[in-house]
Copies of this chain bind each other. A is one copy, B any other.
Amino acid sequence: MVSTSGWTVPQWRQYHAAATPAESLATLVALVAREQVAPSDPAWISLASPEELAHQFRVLCARPAAALLPLYGVPVAVKDNIDARGFATTAACPSFAYTPTEDSAVVARLRAAGAIIVGKTNMDQFATGLVGTRSPYGRTPCAFSAEHVSGGSSAGSGVVVARGTVPLALGTDTAGSGRVPAMLNNVIGLKPSLGVFSCAGVVPACKSLDCVSVFSLTVGDAQAAMSVLAHAETDPRDPYARVMPRAPLREFAPNRKLVVAVPTALEFYGEAHNPRLFHAAVETLQGMTDAEVVYRDIAPLLELAKCLYDGPWVAERWTATRAFLATNPPAADLDPTVLGIVKSGEPITATAAFEGEYKRRTILRRVEALLANVDVLVVPTAPLNPTMAAVAAEPVAVNSRQGTYTNFCNLADMAAVAVPSGFRPDGLPFGITFVGAKFTDYALLDVAQKFLAAHLPERLLGATQQRVGSGDVLDRTLPEPDMDACIELAVVGAHLSGLPLNWQLRQCQAVLRRATTTSACYRLYALPQNGPVAKPGLRRVTEDGAEIAVEVYAMPRVHFGDFLAMVPEPLAIGSCELADGTWVKGFVCEESGYASGATDITSFGGWRAYQQHKRAAKPF
């Protein structure tokens, strides 16, 4: 029997690539066979039967080139408020359960990418909670201690990833449900920008603020899931769906330091270990040469956070559940704390709803000022690692404290990535969250990767014995550029990868597509150097031409102007014929540039080769 514990997406893909379909399926069946549902294991509410797994795998294998799919055969767990055909949806309330006739939008996208849904996970009922104890299916402990909560509401999803059972799990996140369990289980929690994952087929908590989230062992796997789940077209079934911009930010300002804001004052409610771990993380950020730490008073964000439960949005929870509650479900099916919160939404007036929205927008004006000239904000993911007993003693108060650094995020329309940040002396994990403006999701993953590389380069994944290896490294070709929104640009000189001006391409969010050569109709000149960076000039000729090495980038059209503004004379952006006879936009040179004082370097075949030759010729 293969041990799959702690496998990341690339490890699963590597395994399936070498296995027969029968072996692959057997491994998935064996994985599920080792698991048990609540009450034996409160992390799972339901698991796929062997037949269900076989059915999914058969459907997958029937697709053309299935093995090339980015999540081919990768087992995924799904929070039980997200519809997946073949499983009941309970939202952790037995009498609420229904059998969906179709997949939620996110599950459909996962399956289309090759994933196998292995089971549905336990949660705080109706996604109302940050603890993981508010469920008639049982209280889910964290992966490190039976006495400590998993966090919630996406309790089981965080835990089954941390245990290494699955590399990816879906959660949802309205108040922090996709982040708090990430910290308490030492995994990655990606809370995307609102709307970029469709919520069609998800049981609403606060419909205007809900989003689906991703738990993973590594940053790389979170990126893979992000690029599968973000949709390029509006989903007509989700009125809050928004498309991810066609040219999303991939990296914050590559030509200057990343500006990371740290709160001037932090509240840990008397906890002693976590502040130290947070400060250690900040020290790492301060030590990163490509980052600058600044301090900001986040009072407006903390004020916004309070609006989530003290303001009118709790009425959305009542709106979402009142029809069900009117059926008088058995009391045993309802978590009393959740019921109390939901019912508190009933008497709220429309005036309070509108005034709450006015207040939110007024606070957001101060948030804008607070975050001016800041790329990302870093906060503790949660202040505490609560025990089951502490939550039982003060179910609302402890929960409320846990949302201190998460509740504001969706109200402020921000994206967030929660990452591990080391262990306390008691063996429990701590975590921090990077928060950015909407649609900075990919850039936040880039920050997360850079931080983890500096802070925990050898970290253990979740609660497994697997080390991260290259798991946090991002795939620089993701997300696949939308070529309708891009222009292909051939670069020939200092913009080539690794050369001094390549940052200009990254700043303009360009992605390398291929290295090739021009057609044999060009000559290349080293131009007289009149600045810090030496540059070549490409000349189209009718005879004595040669193929010159180029790299072709896809650059978003909207950023092309910014790029062009950085191109000095005698260089220009014109058209360039490639070896395969196609034409792309490319660097060309005015005749005046090479007419005198330039060196014909055509024989080197390209600028990089010429540069290497020059370096070799001048060893000192």
- Interface membership of A561, Cβ < 8 A: yes
Q: Is A350 within 8 A of B574, CB to CB?
A: no
With CB as the reference atom, state the residue of chain B lying closest to A206: B354
- Interface membership of A547, Cβ < 8 A: no
Q: Is B590 within 8 A of A574, CB to CB?
A: yes
- Interface membership of A437, Cβ < 8 A: no
On whether A591 and B540 interact (CB within 8 A), knowing A315-B349, A315-B350, the answer reads: yes
Which residues of the other chain, B, contact A61 by a CB distance below 8 angstroms?
none
A78 to chain B, nearest CB (A): 24
On whether A574 and B570 interact (CB within 8 A), knowing A353-B350, A541-B592, A591-B591, the answer reads: yes
Majority secondary structure, A binding face: mixed
Most buried by B among A350, A540, A541, A592: A350
On whether A487 and B565 interact (CB within 8 A), knowing A236-B365, A574-B572, the answer reads: yes
User: In whole angstroms, what is the CA distance A557 to B592 when docked?
Assistant: 27
> C-beta contact mask, A559-577 vs B, less than 8 Å → 1, else 0?
1111011011111111100
> Could you tell me how many residues of chain A have their Cβ less than 8 Å away from some Cβ of chain B?
63
Interface residues of A in 552-599 (CB under 8 A from B): 555-562, 564-565, 567-575, 583, 585, 588-592, 595-596
User: In whole angstroms, what is the CA distance A252 to B314 when docked?
Assistant: 43
- Interface membership of A239, Cβ < 8 A: yes
A377 to chain B, nearest CB (A): 20
- Interface membership of A361, Cβ < 8 A: yes
Interface residues of A in 185-211 (CB under 8 A from B): 207-208
A406 to chain B, nearest CB (A): 22
Q: Is A357 within 8 A of B572, CB to CB?
A: no
A286 to chain B, nearest CB (A): 32
Q: Is B351 within 8 A of A322, CB to CB?
A: yes
Which residues of the other chain, B, contact A348 by a CB distance below 8 angstroms?
349-351
With CB as the reference atom, state the residue of chain B lying closest to A556: B561
- Interface membership of A318, Cβ < 8 A: yes
- Interface membership of A227, Cβ < 8 A: no
Q: Is A368 within 8 A of B234, CB to CB?
A: yes
Q: Is B574 within 8 A of A239, CB to CB?
A: no
Q: Is B565 within 8 A of A207, CB to CB?
A: no
Q: Is B561 within 8 A of A361, CB to CB?
A: no
- Interface membership of A420, Cβ < 8 A: no
- Interface membership of A324, Cβ < 8 A: no
Which residues of the other chain, B, contact A318 by a CB distance below 8 angstroms?
351
Complex A-B: 5 CB contacts under 8 Å? A315-B349, A348-B351, A353-B353, A487-B564, A572-B572
Kindly list the 9 A-B residue pairs having the minimum CB-CB distance in the complex, ordered from nearest: A572-B574, A560-B561, A557-B561, A239-B361, A315-B350, A569-B575, A348-B350, A572-B572, A353-B353
